[in-house]
Amino acid sequence: MLDIQNIGVAYGQRRIIESLTVEGLAAGTVTCLLGPNGSGKSTLLKALAGLNKIAPGSSIRLDGQELSRASFETRARQVVYVPQALPAAVHLRVFESVLVAANASLPGQRAGGVDVPTVQSLLERLGVGHLSLRYIDELSGGQKQLVGLAQALIRKPRLLLLDEPLSALDLNYQFHVMDLLSQETRENGLVTIIVLHDLNIALRHADYALMIRQGDLFAHGSPSAVITPHALAQVYGVRARVEPCSRGVPQVMIDGLEAHVG
Ligand X SMILES: Nc1ncnc2c1ncn2[C@@H]1O[C@H](COP(=O)(O)OP(=O)(O)OP(=O)(O)O)[C@@H](O)[C@H]1O
Closer to ligand X by CB, 16 or 231: give it: 16
Residues in touch with Mg ion (CB under 5 A): 41-42, 84
Q: How far apart are CA 83 and CA 226, in angstroms?
A: 25
If one asks whether residue 35 binds ligand X (CB under 6 A), the answer comes out as yes
Interaction mask 69-98, ligand X, x per CB under 6 A: ---------------x--------------
If one asks whether residue 157 binds ligand X (CB under 6 A), the answer comes out as no
216 φ, ψ to 5°?
A: -110, 150
Return the closest-CA partner of residue 168 out of 98, 95, 85, 91.
Answer: 85
If one asks whether residue 11 binds ligand X (CB under 6 A), the answer comes out as yes
Closer to ligand X by CB, 26 or 51: give it: 51
If one asks whether residue 165 binds ligand X (CB under 6 A), the answer comes out as no
**DSSP category for residue 214:** T
Contact between 4 and 20 under an 8 Å Cβ cutoff? The reply is yes
Among 29, 31, 42, 78, binds ligand X (CB under 6 A): 42
Among 4, 20, 32, 40, binds ligand X (CB under 6 A): 40
Strand, coil or helix: what is 184?
Answer: helix
If one asks whether residue 39 binds ligand X (CB under 6 A), the answer comes out as yes
Query: How many helices (H) and strands (E) would you count in the chain?
Result: 9, 12
Q: Which residues partner with 194 through β-bridges? A: 32, 162
- Pick what 71 binds: Mg ion, ligand X, none; C-beta below 5 to 8 Å, kind-dependent: none
Q: What kind and span of H or E run contains 159?
A: strand 159-163
Cβ partners under 8 Å of residue 103, min gap 6: 109, 110, 111, 114
In angstroms, what is the minimal distance from the CB of 187 to ligand X? 29
Binding footprint of ligand X, residue count (CB under 6 A): 11
Q: Closest residue to Mg ion, Cβ-based? A: 42
